[in-house]
Structure 1
Amino acid sequence: MDWTGRVLELHIDAVGHGGVFVARSEGRVVLVRRALPGERVRARVTEDKGGSYCRAEVTDVLEAAPDRVADACPAAAGGAGCCDFSHVAPAAQRRLKQEVLAEQLARIAHLPQRIPVAPLPMPATPHAGAPAGGEGGAEGWRTRIRLSVDEAGRAGYRRYRGSEVVADLRCPQQIPGALDGLQDTVWQAGADLAVAVDDDGRRHVVEIAPPPMTRAAHRRSGRRGASARRAARSQRRAEHIVEGGGSAVQRVDGREWRLAPTGFWQVHGAAAQTYSDLIREWSGLRGGDTAWDLYGGAGVFAAAMAGQVGPAGRVEVVESSSQAVRDGRDALVDLDGVRFHHARVGHALAEFADGDGGARRIGGSPGPDTVVLDPPRAGAGREVIGALAATSAARVVHVGCDPASFARDLALYGGHGFRVEELRAFDGFPMTHHFESFALLVR
């Protein structure tokens, strides 16, 4: 059974994980893009691999939900994967995310909590004319952008679940002015562009050479083709600074980081400060304590915790990116109690296990009082959480950018005697289905 190309008339039942909406037809689940719960729509099936479900995209809205608005993103309306919630009123976007988080927590972690997904403030210091202050802004918040270049040399966004480039830069997420003029330049075909607007309002543009990709990978469709292209793009490639410099200035709590425009930093202009404030609130650290910051990046959370443990305490940061470790060491050079370890978290925890009753330590420091971890989208997983449970940590602050992985990880903590004391979530990615979740776990 292959329904690809078939047009279905559907009633949308609910929001699903991953930016889709759930409907049913002839006993099968249909995952529909750009719909809303309660709507009646026509949708064309775009992908069907058989089995119990297929994917579809709305072609006509027959009965609209009250929260539907005129599409705010021309690029997404043209098929780009940048804004999957740009047809939804901003407050309703957050309610949908709340529903997804509640469903994942209840089904996977057996936690009945329903917590709001809070808006982030707009940056206090305007970037390139962005509005300052206030909360809940769904536009003009993104300070780091990754673009792709098509065969004609035009910059744009990748098509949803595809490799084709949609050469339209009209996306409302971006800080005003971030992409000005880029549509007028002919770039190297197959290249990527990294754009960053830093806390001084300076724009940095880096052209990244095309990946060394085989013809077969170019031609291959579906998940295998996408995986091959992602693997090629993850390889080290030549970079050319087109505008700005090699260092983008970012600040949290008055401390300055100088980062490569291609490196990692929270893309929402207010996220790094907001999340750092929460880590400080939840850590429970006192002078002389020891904290671990796992998947610690350039040390934003480590800097917050270093102020709490003081000169007699320790903060051990584990990060797999060598560039982030270098940037973090430079930014925190004055904090003698902060040490960076360049390693994968799972490997580091195994390596730093000593023989004294299975206790785990890093760098010879005492066992941790508090552990903060911000794993990638796949989550921390059984091995890492089991290793943390073998430490002396009484508090864990766990950060998740995918609600399903986040819920799976929370369920694993429960098996090791931790309980969830508090949960929060932030809309760090307006116009999309993505958001950040935080859990404070204690034992």
Structure 2
Amino acid sequence: MSENTEPDRSTSRETPTVSVGDRVTVTVDRPAHGGEGIAQLPDGRIVFVRGGLPGDVVRIEVTKAKKRFTSARIIDVVQSSPHRVAQRCAAAARGAGCCDYGHVDPASEDKLKEEVLLDQLRRIGHLAAEDLPEIESIALQPISGWRTRVRLGVDATGHAGTRIAGSHDLLSIPCAQALPGMLDGIVGAGSARFNPGAEIIVAVDSSGDRHVIESRRAARGRRTEAIQSTLEGSGICTEKVGPHTYHLPATAFWQAHSEAPERFTSLVRRWLTEALSTRSAGEGESTPGAVVGWDLYGGAGLFAPTLLEVLRTAPGSGGDASVISVEQSRMAAECGRAALADLPVEFRTGAVDAEIPQLPAPRAVVLDPPRTGAGTDTVTAIAAAHPAAVVHVGCDPATFARDIAAWYGAGYRLEKLAVAGAFPGTHHLEAFGLLTPGDGRADT
């Protein structure tokens, strides 16, 4: 199985008949991962159209022409897709890379994302129709003004803004997805000045307090947790989920959608409760009477209390259970350790694949890996510990599909599948899969 996390762009091996700069009219057939639409060129090859939606008839300009794939941008919309509406974000309308689904009718957005996920599971995950359960759609509200955390660049004049797609240039226009008032005085006319080249992190916690942090710009694809200067607020966010309160730096990872923590933990609770109620009490236990759960890539431990609750009520547990949370970020682990000090949750700091061999066998596992996914070796190592149920969370459909294929190769099957609308107005999605031991397909 390929480790490629990009959409499958395989086309004819013949020399491209179009060149960069050529313009043609095409009809977009289906959505692709990454906010693109797939169309067919006059010569029969496929082209990935940035911002194209199924049903669009568009005039495009080719921006990349290679033997294996062709990419293009839209010059003009000749006939609009039924899914297309006016761009809802002023920043994205001017070219910012924030709301690349802001032109999608909210009523169509979830279905398009589900289609993308299913395509990735079939193409990269090599799953047949009978392997794919019906998708459960988890709609989060609101669909605008939902974002509680924003990272901004600062230009040479000291103005903060959102980066233009595919560029280092900035637009000092507030994104429509930020909480109302969140960027007041920071982005736009009359905004404050910052150190050129810095990164500005703005977070609004569950208490409604705004925290503004200045930090160094992180390398592409990375996030910085270092705080150079706290410009507003304490810099420590208070986040409440159920009876638990987390205190973590504004630079630390936390779910961006205001409703996500409660909805995600509720889904995990429901799925694991159902799954463990149908499994025999001895499955996934290291020693008789020991009931352990793994919370992998655990961050500050969002899922740990829910996992513990499920294990305590699972058949055969006798109410006695514990959870081990493994997290690479020492800062996140320390925050979780403080928040859950009254629970039997042990936080271990380190790489997940390095820690797994040292852990007692689990009854259930929750893993929420970064965008790059868990990877085949890690999935295989978890499966070798024989958990009775696993909830695998993924924020990238391609790497999620790759990981699901690894689960099938390790003897597990996908019992439930869900897509959460945690990033309205963008192509991003949050996928959840419930996996249980079954007849896996080792040929993936």
8 A contact 1:98–1:117 mirrored in 2:
no
1:265 alignment partner in structure 2: 254
| Post-superposition CA distance 1:116-167 (Å, at most 9, x none) | 4634343xxxxxxxxxxxxxx3201111111111112111112223322223
1:437 alignment partner in structure 2: 431
1:218 alignment partner in structure 2: none
- The CA RMSD measured in Å over matched residues stands at 2.1
Residue 116 of structure 2, aligned match among 67, 79, 100: 100
| Structure 1 residues 235 and 398: CA distance shift in structure 2, 3 A | closer
Answering whether residue 162 of structure 2 is matched by residue 146 of structure 1, we say no
CA drift of 1:27 comes to 4.1
Gaps of 5+ in 2: 1-15, 282-288, 313-318, 438-444
2:13 alignment partner in structure 1: none
Give SS of 1:182's match.
coil
AA in 2 matched with 1:141: W
1:328 alignment partner in structure 2: 336
Answering whether residue 235 of structure 2 is matched by residue 246 of structure 1, we say yes
With normalisation by structure 1, the TM-score equals: 0.84
| Structure 1 residues 178 and 421: CA distance shift in structure 2, 3 A | same
Q: State the alpha-carbon separation in 1 of the partners of residues 182 and 19 from structure 2.
A: 41
CA drift of 1:293 comes to 0.5
| Structure 1 residues 3 and 74: CA distance shift in structure 2, 3 A | farther
Give SS of 1:430's match.
coil
8 A contact 2:217–2:224 mirrored in 1:
no
2:413 alignment partner in structure 1: 419
Residue 169 of structure 2, aligned match among 164, 170, 175: 164
| Structure 1 residues 24 and 395: CA distance shift in structure 2, 3 A | same
| Structure 1 residues 4 and 93: CA distance shift in structure 2, 3 A | same
Larger mean Cα displacement after TM superposition, 36-45 or 381-390: 36-45
CA drift of 1:201 comes to 0.8
8 A contact 1:109–1:410 mirrored in 2:
no
Give SS of 1:106's match.
helix
CA drift of 1:313 comes to 1.3
Residue 276 of structure 1, aligned match among 256, 265, 288: 265
Q: State the alpha-carbon separation in 2 of the partners of residues 249 and 235 from structure 1.
A: 20
1:120 alignment partner in structure 2: 139
Residues 24-63 of structure 1 correspond to what in structure 2 (within 5 A)? Answer: 24-25=40-41, 26-46=43-63, 48=64, 50-63=66-79
| Structure 1 residues 119 and 396: CA distance shift in structure 2, 3 A | closer
Report how many residues are paired.
395
Q: State the alpha-carbon separation in 1 of the partners of residues 424 and 144 from structure 2.
A: 7
2:210 alignment partner in structure 1: 203
Give SS of 2:220's match.
helix
CA drift of 1:114 comes to 6.5
AA in 1 matched with 2:298: G
Q: State the alpha-carbon separation in 2 of the partners of residues 5 and 162 from structure 1.
A: 19
Residues 38-437 of structure 1 correspond to what in structure 2 (within 5 A)? Answer: 38-46=55-63, 48=64, 50-107=66-123, 108-112=125-129, 113=132, 115-116=134-135, 118-122=137-141, 137-169=142-174, 171-183=175-187, 184-210=191-217, 229-230=219-220, 238-284=227-273, 289-310=291-312, 312-335=320-343, 337-350=344-357, 352=358, 362=359, 366-437=360-431
Q: State the alpha-carbon separation in 2 of the partners of residues 334 and 36 from structure 1.
A: 50
With normalisation by structure 2, the TM-score equals: 0.84
| Post-superposition CA distance 1:159-201 (Å, at most 9, x none) | 22332222322x2111111111112111111111111111111
AA in 2 matched with 1:239: Q
Give SS of 1:12's match.
strand
| Structure 1 residues 5 and 421: CA distance shift in structure 2, 3 A | same
Q: State the alpha-carbon separation in 1 of the partners of residues 430 and 363 from structure 2.
A: 24
2:37 alignment partner in structure 1: 21
| Post-superposition CA distance 1:188-219 (Å, at most 9, x none) | 111111111111111111111346xxxxxxxx
Give SS of 1:407's match.
helix
Q: State the alpha-carbon separation in 2 of the partners of residues 43 and 63 from structure 1.
A: 13
| Structure 1 residues 441 and 119: CA distance shift in structure 2, 3 A | closer
Q: State the alpha-carbon separation in 2 of the partners of residues 390 and 181 from structure 1.
A: 53
Give SS of 2:320's match.
coil
Higher relative CO (Cα under 8 Å, sequence separation at least 6) belongs to 2
AA in 2 matched with 1:181: G
Give SS of 1:13's match.
strand
2:284 alignment partner in structure 1: none
AA in 1 matched with 2:144: E
Q: State the alpha-carbon separation in 1 of the partners of residues 177 and 133 from structure 2.
A: 27
8 A contact 2:227–2:251 mirrored in 1:
no
Q: State the alpha-carbon separation in 2 of the partners of residues 55 and 387 from structure 1.
A: 38
Give SS of 1:283's match.
helix
| Structure 1 residues 86 and 189: CA distance shift in structure 2, 3 A | same
8 A contact 1:142–1:174 mirrored in 2:
yes
1:127 alignment partner in structure 2: none
8 A contact 1:102–1:115 mirrored in 2:
no
Q: State the alpha-carbon separation in 1 of the partners of residues 408 and 120 from structure 2.
A: 15
CA drift of 1:235 comes to 6.4
8 A contact 1:153–1:187 mirrored in 2:
yes
Give SS of 1:206's match.
strand
Identity of aligned residues (%): 42
Q: State the alpha-carbon separation in 2 of the partners of residues 91 and 38 from structure 1.
A: 16
CA drift of 1:392 comes to 3.1
Q: State the alpha-carbon separation in 1 of the partners of residues 371 and 113 from structure 2.
A: 16
8 A contact 1:86–1:432 mirrored in 2:
yes
Q: State the alpha-carbon separation in 2 of the partners of residues 93 and 235 from structure 1.
A: 31
Q: State the alpha-carbon separation in 2 of the partners of residues 95 and 419 from structure 1.
A: 24
